[in-house]
Chains A and B, each alone.
Chain A
Amino acid sequence: MTTTQEIHSPTFLTGDELSIPTFRLLKQDGTLYDGGEAPELSREQALKIYHSMVATRVLDERMMAAQRQGRLSFYMQCTGEEAAVIGATAALDDADMIMAQYREQGALVYRGFSYDEFMNQLFGNELDYGKGRQMPIHYGSRKLHYMTISSPLATQIPQAAGYAYGQKLAGDELCTLCFFGEGAASEGDFHAALNMAAVHEAPVIFFCRNNGYAISTPSIEQFAADGVAPRAYGYRMHVIRVDGNDILAVLAATREARRIAVEQNKPVLIEAMSYRLAAHSSSDDPSGYRSKKEEEAWREKDPILRMQHWLVGQGWWNDDEEKALQESLRREVLETMKRAEKRPPPPLDSLVSDVYADVTPALQRQLDQLKRHIRQYPESYPKGARSLDPDVKARDDASDAQAQEGE
């Protein structure tokens, strides 16, 4: 349906009459902008947010170093975007669903995912919830309401709309928050999702981390428009642009977005303006497409330092506490990494479980065949060979004999 007034000469609109402001509360020195009011935030929650930001930064630094040492196959850092990710998460109910892209480990840190749990996934060991099936950083947690990451970009966006619609029908007064980058917002799934969420009034918050780059492609080559935010008008959706390095602004904006989503059953788009301070991933080298000078300018807007200044101003934090926190986190990362590295791989049978709810006869045959082969060349398949314990071996030998009889 359109509601429009008539005109009688061909006057075009360019969209420039719509200018989207940026919501900011906190200056880099930790003081508030004039007229800005900090959202209600207890000392306890403020420190939890801050700890989570620092814990994410430390994890990222150490694991990227571990990747460089060859201990880890792949890694992706959240560096520079901790306030956007953790501020948004802190604004939610802990039972709200989070459907993230891949750079949002800070959300898990905030919700209590332990370093051990991170490490088990990163090393794909027997304790990894994902059973060693996905590349590092594809975390998921049912108990923390964090959907397992999927590599294809933007697929989670229409899923978030559907998940939220289900939450609305269930009447549990929860919402879904969906993270994605400004690059992923070019995918068709983004447009499908926002339109469907608006039409079907799903309580979902679409949280765009506009960090300036999709791998090497700068956002000016991603879209001609003023960022991602103006697209909300096309879907008749509430929208706000926020300084993504400003923890208080992100928290306040997402809290209000959650209220609109849950109380009015309306989707909301948030565009958080930030910068990917690190490389896209351990396989990327930003020196090929952007300047050190540009990176330095953003390093001065570090979201963690900005919050630290504010906390110090509140009298809630000091240098000694900072030093102690950094040291204990670094120690914990190294200890948990060592533990996870030593753990055995997932059992061989996990190759075929979870494809379906039950293993199909055809898959069972393929697994049995594989086991016979591995038993022939155990030294070539050390991870699988260790799974072939005596019990399994006895059963397989029996089925081998049966198969030979059949021939």
Chain B
Amino acid sequence: MPTMNMLQAINNALDIAMAEDDRVLCFGEDVGIFGGVFRATSHLQEKYGRSRCFNTPLVEQGIIGFANGLAAQGSVPVAEIQFADYIFPAFDQIVNETAKFRYRSGDLFNVGGLTIRTPYGGGISGGLYHSQSPEAYFAHTPGLKIVVPRNPYQAKGLLLAAIRDPDPVLFFEPKRLYRASTGEVPEEDYQLPIGEAEVTREGSDVTVLGWGAQMEVIERAVELAEKEGISCEVIDLRSILPWDEDSVVESVLKTGRLVITHEAPLTGGFAGEVAATVQERCFLYLEAPIARVTGMDTPFPLTLEKEYLADHLKVFEAIKASVAF
């Protein structure tokens, strides 16, 4: 099985989707001959032509508006927003149009073919505007699906599933892992399920939950905890919307403790949603308060990025505190 980094896995998924179906189109800023600023769309224009893989003018609301129209027409657009920090000019098109297309028309029309790919997250010295994790804004919008892969294998399987899903999918790619994360990825076509979490490590003392780049942080924290004799169950949520309540609840009913971590700020972050549901469904089984290890309620910093981030040491401390409660 070949080894790929996350960009190669994403590029491979796009290649498979475009080869299989002429209606699949990839476009966005610098996506054409250059292959995107991160090279996720490398060689796709050469292979499939300028009409199916192309640069767009620099206008995010136009990119997503155009993509909504294409999807309504029956095409399968995979639109790239160069950084998740720049998705906000398209907020209206995503929240008021993409998400509501099927519902408002009584299923006469839909944009289920649409996938929006966008790199998110910090740890790359990107400062305020190249580091944000905006998943919670979109999680408040019924009609969208939100997927975040943690490694190359997951990225390929989840992206292929997103492209073929009957609903529009926002696909947040952890850009810190684009080249840093490598692993074995099958060359053939495969899909991983949307809306299902994955237990990546079984344990009995505490459940540690995250998604995307934060899974690597969790792994490091858990290794420290295991050395201290704490048995951790680790869950990758994978889909923020719809999210797999049952898997998380099942785990917490077993461990009685939950630590949730994300890069985005604390207030209004998706950890709050998970915590509210878990306390509702596991109230009498909880041995400790549900802990949230997140970014601070500030804009994303630059020089003090390391201090700001929810790193493995902060997660480790939260695990210990939960067990010692």
Contacts and interface: CB of A to CB of B under 8 A. Distances in A.
A323 interface: no
Q: Which of B71, B104, B143 has the most A CB atoms < 10 Å from its CB?
A: B104
Interface stretch (B53-61, B221-229, B287-295, B304-312): B53-61
Q: Which of B52, B62, B100, B108 has the most A CB atoms < 10 Å from its CB?
A: B62
Interface stretch (B7-15, B89-97, B150-158, B178-186): B89-97
Contact of B96 (A150, A196, A360, A363): A150
Contact of A159 (B68, B102, B112, B195): B68
A148 B108 contact: yes
A128 interface: yes
A147 B108 CA distance: 9
A12 interface: no
A166 B195 CA distance: 30
Contact of A158 (B65, B106, B166, B243): B65
Contacts, number: 155
Contacts of A354: 102-103, 106-107
A362 interface: yes
Contact of B59 (A99, A163, A195, A363): A195
A154 to B, nearest CB: 9
Q: Which of B23, B52, B109, B245 has the most A CB atoms < 10 Å from its CB?
A: B109
B242 interface: yes
Contact of B105 (A148, A160, A162, A193): A148
A356 B108 contact: no
B143 A355 contact: yes
B252 interface: no
A161 B93 CA distance: 14
Contacts of A169: 23, 25, 51-52, 75
B62 A192 contact: yes
Interface stretch (A108-116, A136-144, A226-234, A325-333): A136-144
Q: Which of A97, A99, A162, A169 has the most B CB atoms < 10 Å from its CB?
A: A162
Question: 7 closest pairs, A vs B, by CB?
Answer: A158-B65, A162-B69, A192-B62, A159-B69, A166-B73, A162-B66, A148-B105
23 contacts: A134-B104, A148-B105, A148-B109, A150-B104, A152-B96, A158-B64, A158-B65, A159-B97, A166-B73, A169-B23, A169-B75, A170-B73, A189-B62, A189-B93, A192-B61, A195-B59, A196-B56, A196-B57, A196-B66, A354-B107, A357-B102, A357-B112, A361-B242
